[in-house]
Every structure is written in structure tokens, then in C-alpha cells.
Amino acid sequence: GAVVSQHPSRVICKSGTSVKIECRSLDFQATTMFWYRQFPKKSLMLMATSNEGSKATYEQGVEKDKFLINHASLTLSTLTVTSAHPEDSSFYICSAPQVQGNYGYTFGSGTRLTVV
């Protein structure tokens, strides 16, 4: 079945630094990638939608300059948390929809970001 590989699974960084999270579709082409953020004991909140070759669409309240999303190819989407602060600590998950064949959504395994 379709697989989305997300890396890193865990990252600890210092305040003020930037962190890049990658999601790769391994056996299918992901023209769209959804990026979610999950706070402890909370649901998944959609942050943005990336589309290959075009600018990402951000949900209301999400800072575009802080959460940079790039979808440079049909198999790779990246989320960069810039100038990270402790309040950015969270669990980030990507998801690629499959609109043909076995319709559904394939999720990455998530990235636990801790900013110290």
C-alpha cells in the first residue's frame, strides 16, 4: 500500500533555530500534502495544504513566515519551523490524499518537536 515516510521522528532544537521536517511519498505521487499539528491530548489541527509546484495554502491563524512549506516535487513536501520557540513544541503529522484507486489518506508517522 501507499506509504508516506516522515523524518525525523523526534527532534530537539534550541530556541531561535530552524527545523525541517520531510515527508516523502514512497510508492505514489503526492500532488497534495496536508500538514497537521497536534497538541498533547488534543486533536489534529490542519495547518496548511501544500500542492506540488505552487504556493501552500495556510489555515486561518497559522503564521506563514514561521511555518514554511515547500512541495518541490511529486514525492517530497517539507515543513520548516523557523526561529523556533518553546510554544512551537508539538507533534507534526503530514498526510497525502489518494484520489484514485483505493481512496483515502496516508499519514506519516509524525515528528515530535521539542524546542528548549
Task: Find all residues with CB under 8 Å of 2, minimum gap 6, and list them.
Answer: 25, 26, 27, 28, 96, 98, 102, 106
Among 49, 75, 77, 90, binds other proteins (CB under 8 A): 49
* Closest residue by Cα to residue 112 from 89, 96, 87, 81: 89
- Which stretch, 20-28, 61-69, 76-84, 101-109, contacts other proteins (CB under 8 A)? 101-109
User: Which span sits near other proteins by CB under 8 A: 13-21, 22-30, 67-75, 94-102?
Assistant: 94-102
Site of interaction with other proteins (CB under 8 A) = 6, 34, 41-44, 46, 49, 91, 93, 95, 97, 99, 103-105, 107-110, 112
